[in-house]
Amino acid sequence: MQLGCCVSPTYLKYVVDAGFDYAELACSSTLPSESTSVWNNERDQLLALGVPIRGFNVLMQPNLHVVGPDVDVSAIREYLDIVLTRVAELGREHISFGSGRARKIPRDFEPARAENQLLEFLALFAELSAPYSIQINLEFLRRAETNFINSLLEAKRFVERIHSNSIKILADFFHMMEEEEPISDLYLVSNHVGYVHVADTGRLYPGSGLYPYNEFLNTLRRIGYDGPISVECQWGDVESELRLSAEFLRQYI
């Protein structure tokens, strides 16, 4: 397993010294609304730091919905084309699709239609990402963030329906704990787990709370998972908490 952390570009310089193998950035870090020249300058600055970037999260912009009456497939395609091209220039390995607002089913909207829309979006995303060999990780979210796909088992149902080797499940420890999902559910999705996020009680840094990390990480080992594990939390004193997180997790990884 490799250990990473979700940070903004401002804190990228601390990642390796804190004890992490790689960084994970938000897709907004690719500046999808900016010109190619602006992006090229930003890209060069990020790459100059010499920090491996393996993952990207927070895929969709707030105004782009993938389910509901306002889905604009052309706008989604145009946006994804830009993001995928720029992600490939930085890391080209993993993109996580959580984006709770983008996939929230509106009131009085037919759930079956929303499911079909999501499947169509995932199929499009898989098609566009294929030339870059980028793995897509579908993230289930707690119900406080969205009303659509709130558990490992729900995520499994969609991954199995899309029939694409490039789409896996992101197993998020924080969302599992918030939704009181048994850690043993990992055994039921073992063939589909492609990425992992962790945080601790209150979505703070690992080691600061009460979550059963030993059980969670041992279960990942038992199902044969050997992929990336990224800290995704609300940072306080970023430089200090990065070090504390890495030290804590290295006990288990």
pLDDT tens string 230-251: 999 999 999 999 999 999 999 9
How far apart (Å, rounded) are the C-alpha atoms in residues 126 and 166?
7
> For tokens 């969302």, what's the residue?
175
CATH 3.40.50.300 fits 2-250, yes or no: no
144: which 2 tokens? 């406080």
**Domain residue limits, the chain:** 2-250
Q: What pLDDT, on the 0 to 100 scale, is given for residue 163?
A: 85
For residue 170, the surrounding DSSP H or E stretch is strand 167-172
Q: What pLDDT, on the 0 to 100 scale, is given for residue 253?
A: 87
How far apart (Å, rounded) are the C-alpha atoms in residues 96 and 139?
7
How far apart (Å, rounded) are the C-alpha atoms in residues 204 and 234?
5
How far apart (Å, rounded) are the C-alpha atoms in residues 58 and 62?
10
Q: What pLDDT, on the 0 to 100 scale, is given for residue 160?
A: 96
For residue 184, the surrounding DSSP H or E stretch is none
- Looking at the chain, the whole-number percentage of residues with pLDDT higher than 90 is 97
Residue 85 one-letter amino acid: T
Give the N- to C-terminal CA distance of the chain in Å, as an integer.
7
- C-alpha to C-alpha distances, 52 to 41, 70, 93, 118, 225, nearest whole angstrom: 18, 37, 11, 31, 21
8: which 2 tokens? 């903004």
Mean pLDDT calculated for residue range 134-161: 97
pLDDT in tens, 75-134: 999 999 999 999 999 998 999 999 999 999 999 999 999 999 999 999 999 999 999 999
Helix axes 36-48, 73-90, angle to 10 degrees: 30
Q: Residue 62: pLDDT above 90?
A: no
pLDDT in tens, 151-169: 999 999 999 999 899 999 9
How far apart (Å, rounded) are the C-alpha atoms in residues 23 and 15?
7
Please provide the average confidence, as pLDDT, over all residues in the chain: 97
User: What letter would DSSP give residue 204?
Assistant: B
Q: What pLDDT, on the 0 to 100 scale, is given for residue 221?
A: 97
Confidence of residue 147 (pLDDT cuts 50, 70, 90): very high
Mean pLDDT calculated for residue range 37-51: 98
Q: What pLDDT, on the 0 to 100 scale, is given for residue 204?
A: 98
What torsion, rounded to 10 degrees, do the Cα atoms 190, 192, 197, 202 define?
A: -70
**pTM exceeds 0.85 for this model:** yes
Q: What pLDDT, on the 0 to 100 scale, is given for residue 25?
A: 98
Of 129, 37, 126, nearest in space to 81 by CA? 129
